[in-house]
Amino acid sequence: MDLPQRLVDGYGAFLDERLPLELDRYRKLAAAGQRPESMIIGCCDSRVSPEVIFDAHPGELFVVRNVANLVPPYAPSGFTHGVSAALEFAVQILEVKHVIVMGHSHCGGVRAFLAHRARPDPGDFIDNWMDLLAPAAKALEAAGHPLRADDPTALEQASVVMTLANLMTFPWIESRVQAGALRLLGAYFDVATGRLSAYDHTSRTFIPVAAPVHAGSAG
Ligand SMILES: [Zn+2]
């Protein structure tokens, strides 16, 4: 059992510093089960950890991470659907109140999508997965925004909006949203600055989130 030393050291820090503060919470969660109010759909990217960005405690966030924070449209079949299974569990069993799709800057998945159009030998999995982005790319181009490999921000943000639309293809999500029991929200994290924006459905833009405590330093 040779875990990388960095991880062993990190676990030691967890035991020394965080676990004493969280142990009571862990015990209660173990006894009563988890009841998170928010589900986050985020990217696998090592720089975009939802628990870090939202300073979350154990039991607070139900997190699914995949390449480029995507959700395939509702399509029940005999195939194995990891994202849809997590959604079903979070929405139908845990009854989360919010599903937040969090995109981010410098996304390798989005860059792969922009690059693969010119690549003759697609990989085994990534290019096929990233084809989920095609509707967002088409919508951008139709709106007069040509795709640029050197500036993926528009597509990174459009993919969040598209994923929110894909979520509404799940009948048990759509019915809860219509009933006011579930909210679908979009967010975008800038890796270089640590700033978070939230999608505004009215203006259809991402607006910086001003956290109350740190609003003064967010300008
Ligand atoms: Zn990413």
- How many Å lie between the centroid of ligand 1 and the Cα of residue 67? 6
Report how far apart, in Å, the C-alpha atoms of 166 and of each of 69, 74, 87, 162, 184 are: 12, 7, 12, 6, 11
Mind listing the pLDDT tens digit for each residue in 113-143?
888 766 666 677 888 888 899 999 999 999 9
Distance 33 CA to ligand 1 centre (A): 30
Q: Is residue 12 over pLDDT 60?
A: yes
Q: Is the pLDDT of residue 169 over 90?
A: yes
Whether 182 contacts 97, CB under 8 Å: yes
Using pLDDT thresholds of 50, 70 and 90, give the confidence band for residue 219: very low
Residue 217: per-residue pLDDT? 53
Say which residue the tokens 């015990």 belong to: 27
Average pLDDT over residues 66-92: 92
Edge to edge, what strands does the sheet with 61-66 contain? Answer: 61-66, 38-43, 98-104, 183-189, 196-200, 205-208
pLDDT at 214: 63
- 56 Cα: distance to centroid of ligand 1 (angstroms): 20
pTM over 0.85: yes
Give the per-residue pLDDT at 112.
86
pLDDT confidence of residue 120 = 62
pLDDT at 215: 55
63 C-alpha to center of ligand 1: Å? 15
Give me the residue label for tokens 């809860």.
176
CA–centroid distance, 213 to ligand 1, in Å, is 28
Give residue 45 CA to ligand 1 midpoint distance, Å.
5
Instruction: Return the pLDDT at 146.
Output: 85
**Distance, CA 179 to ligand 1 centroid (Å)?**
32
